[in-house]
Amino acid sequence: MRQRIVAGNWKMHKNAEETEDLLNELIDKIPTDLDQRVIVAPTFVNLSAAADHLEFTPIEVAAQNMHQAEGGAFTGEISAGMLESVGVRIVILGHSERRAYFHETDALLAAKVDTALKHEMEVIFCFGEELKDRHAGQHFNVVENQLKDGLFHLEASAWKNIILAYEPVWAIGTGETASPEQAQEMHEFIRDIIRKNYGNTVAEDVSILYGGSVKPENAAEIFSKPDVDGGLIGGAALKSDDFTKIVLAI
Ligand code: PEP
């Protein structure tokens, strides 16, 4: 069954004390009886404390990245097993900042996805075109290729642990939002190509989140579109009032 999800990507923000404060505010403000899933992704160093803090709450915790290897001489990296060992069962992979600043390719991301799934983690898989792609009329091709190269090697059964996050790069952290119509058009396209490759059940069951300058003011309209199943939120996830409003807008 398709799930409605709002996830907050905290990026490289919030030290230990600030993390605890924001979590406490979210625990106070977000009702406990919601049908939608609420996920937050603090930085690696605060994940263990966040997972402990959120253990008896409906708010789930995700990592922002992980390495594809099980372990080894990879200075500065974090493995799926390490995330699991601190109670993290969800990982964001393929964020545009990882692709752009850390040169993560589709092939690397496919390997990370495989490792996460081997650990029975859920993957929030991010993808989306740059502005130049949209201007060149290539946005559908770019998105299709990112999905094909990152995910379409998976068996249909693996898709129960995949959450998609369409994030047009030109809308991330820029204040520019895709219009609800642009988001719906792309989400419908994404669901159609999944249907072509995996059939109707996988296509209908997969949650497709929209990300890119979602705010309390525009969330409800974006979430009202039939193929938009929630959001991946950056800047607005750092303020408990804004994030709570977005969670409640779904
Ligand atoms: C993001 O980084 O995933 C994101 C959507 O950021 P923002 O909401 O700030 O555009």
Pairwise CA distance, residues 231 & 210, whole Å: 5
CB atoms within 10 A of CB 101: 9
Q: Which pLDDT score is estimated for 175?
A: 78
Residue 84, class by beta-carbon neighbours within 10 Å (0-12 exposed, 13-18 middle, 19+ buried)? middle
User: Residue type for 142, please?
Assistant: V
Q: Which pLDDT score is estimated for 204?
A: 98
176 is catalytic: no
Q: Which pLDDT score is estimated for 244?
A: 98
Q: What is the 3-state secondary structure (H, E, C) of 191-247?
A: HHHHHHHHCHHHHHHCCEEEECCCCHHHHHHHHCCCCCCEEEECHHHHCHHHHHHHH
Best mutation site among 170, 214, 243, 246 for ligand 1, i.e. most ligand atoms within 8 A of its Cβ?
214
Residue nearest to atom 4 of ligand 1 (CA): 234
Quick check: 26 pLDDT over 90? yes
Does the reported pTM lie above 0.95? yes
Choose, from 67, 95, 139, 187, the residue flagged as catalytic: 95
Residue nearest to atom 2 of ligand 1 (CA): 234
13 is catalytic: no
Using 50, 70 and 90 to split pLDDT, how confident is the model at 174?
confident
